[in-house]
Amino acid sequence: MFVEVMVHGKFAWSWPITDYERAVKLAVAFANRIRADRPVVIKVLCLSRREVETVFRFSFAEELAATETPEQAEEMYQAIKTTCLEALRNSSDPRVRADAMETLQGMGVVT
């Protein structure tokens, strides 16, 4: 449901899975522009919500609770909701759609 771009094992960018091609193009452009003394490792990973939480030790619920202002919490809530709704509308992968639905149910958007 998400596409994560990692550079040297560190999280760099994250988008909804519907932006996969954008993530790949950015990773390739970034790799082509880098001048480094050592090889640069860039990974583009497709991950479900559970995988994001496991790999990055990230909890959507905790992240929403830890935001500094109600406006920031609402902004993050809307971003997650929009990402999931886009995945439901645009993805033909049943696993992506199931993950999006589970996330929306956990958020109380759908029952």
Residue with the bigger pLDDT between 65 and 48: it is: 48
pLDDT at 91: 83
pLDDT band at 58 (very low <50, low <70, confident <90, very high): low
Give me the percent of the chain exceeding a pLDDT of 70. Answer: 80
Q: Which residue has the higher pLDDT, 1 or 104?
A: 104
Write down the pLDDT at residue 82: 84
**Residue-level pLDDT at 68:** 66
What are residue 42's DSSP bridge partners? 7
Determine which helix (DSSP H) or strand (DSSP E) holds 65, and give its type and residue range: helix 60-66
